[in-house]
Amino acid sequence: MPWSLTPPHPSSWQVLLNLALAEDIGPADVTSQLTIASDANGHARIEARQALVACGLFVAQEVFRRVDPQIAIEPCCAEADELEAGQILMRLQGGLHGILAGERTALNFLARLCGIATLTRRYVREIEGTGSQIVDTRKTLPGWRVLDKFAVLAGGGTNHRFALYDGILLKDNHIAAAGGVKAAVEMALARAPAGLRVQVEVESAAEAEAACQAGADFLLIDNRTPEEVRDIVQRCGERALLEVSGGITLENLRQYAQSGVARIAIGAITHSAPACDIALELDDRVAC
């Protein structure tokens, strides 16, 4: 594993796991009951069918513990590891009823979380050497935010604020309602709780200048070209931490990073990451 990652506390995602298991299993797995002896045991492997960044192993393990605490679980990689197609994420040994009952739920979690981590890693690699960071947004699957944001970390990205309560970001609608950039920034700074930094969204060099003059030290430059961003960096880069968002793709990402901004916010890494191809297969092998 390239760095140490601490998975989020189970209390933050157990409700989601409970819903997923209830949704998929319901009263019982009727197919297994009809075709497999209740005391049948076996071995299984969860394997990557494509190159990916591993993420969500801790959730998958909890799935199998829930359906059958007697299932022996052997992780074969760690969170944030890069795997090639054919490599094993995890091996299981125990009752086949439990293994098959947990299969789809475990794979659903792994497919999404590995997908986010894998796409994030692509963005992070694309800007290596520029000094910029890839940060996430609140564009997460409802109910999945703590897991989606963990997957961003596994991919090498950085978490932005978690929700509306732990960070102040004055966006266009706040600014319009407050009567302009200057008024919005001054009002937020005067009333902000201790420890919460005030960030303001700007869409021009003039708005960036007004925000800095009002006391903001954290700007989000939205929907500007790399050239326009570079101009704002030259004007305000020594007075504020600068972040950019909007219209950024893997194709133009490095141009934005080379403008000098500290952070690049990418909603796509959570709202549009393709699920990874991961499968569970029964076999007779025991060791990874």
**What residues act catalytically?**
104, 139, 171, 201, 222
**Which of 115, 101, 137 has its CA nearest to residue 56?**
115
As a dihedral over the C-alpha atoms of residue 225, residue 228, residue 232, residue 234, rounded to 10 degrees, the angle is 120
Ordered DSSP codes for 100-147 = HHHHHHHHHHHHHHHHHHHHHHHHHHHTTTS--EEE--S---TT-HHH
Tell me the residue ranges of DSSP E strands in the chain.
Answer: 41-48, 52-53, 72-75, 82-83, 88-95, 133-135, 168-170, 198-202, 218-222, 241-245, 263-265, 278-283
Handedness of CA 142, 2, 9, 103 (dihedral sign): positive
Q: Please, is 149 exposed, middle or buried when counting C-beta atoms within 10 Å of its C-beta (0-12, 13-18, 19+)?
A: buried
- Angle (CA) 281 283 287, round 5°: 110
C-alpha–C-alpha distance, residues 155 and 223, integer Å: 25
**Which of 268, 146, 167 has its CA nearest to residue 220?**
167
